[in-house]
Amino acid sequence: MGYGRDVTSDFEAQLRAVSMRVTRPRLAVLAALRDHPHVDTDTVIALVRANHPTISHQAVYDVLRALTDAGLVRRIQPGRATARYESRVGDNHHHVVCRSCGAIADVDCVVGHAPCLTASDDHGFVVDEAEVVYWGTCPDCATERISQ
């Protein structure tokens, strides 16, 4: 898998914007998440090491944590599922999750910009983020169920 120069410089700009040094493991993790959103830690490690065998497991763990802390990567954990990571951040998007296989897809906010931030009763809290998870059955699992 080759990454174009423009994409790499995008990642470099993202890292610089949060005052992080541009390193090969950081670029590799961002590229893996761009191509494979909503993957768990083990999958990120496998994806990164497939292209860069010299990057250690521990390095990938450390990079994931640092990028999440910096806000370049979002950690999601629907229900009791394993934590997943994605590089689409800052747009308050939601997720639809398959109960059978755990497949996850992005769902944009329903009407324009962050309307879901308006709680019917905010109990006096200052709300700055809303996370909605839609649970259901993905098309693959639904087809399997019918054919059984």
Interface positions with Zn ion (CB under 5 A): 86, 98, 100-101, 103, 106, 138, 141
Q: Which of 79, 75, 76, 77 has the alpha carbon at shortest distance from 135?
A: 79
Q: How far is the CB of 141 from Zn ion (least distance, A)?
A: 3
Closer CB to Zn ion, 9 or 107, in the complex: 107
Closer CB to Zn ion, 106 or 131, in the complex: 106
Closer CB to Zn ion, 9 or 143, in the complex: 143
The H-or-E segment that residue 142 falls in is: helix 139-147
Type of residue numbered 10: D
Q: How far is the CB of 49 from Zn ion (least distance, A)?
A: 23
Q: How far is the CB of 84 from Zn ion (least distance, A)?
A: 8
Closer CB to Zn ion, 50 or 101, in the complex: 101
DSSP letters for 2-52:
---HHHHHHHHHHHHHTT----HHHHHHHHHHHHS-SEEHHHHHHHHHHH-
Other Cβ atoms within 10 Å of 21 Cβ, number: 7
Q: How far is the CB of 142 from Zn ion (least distance, A)?
A: 8
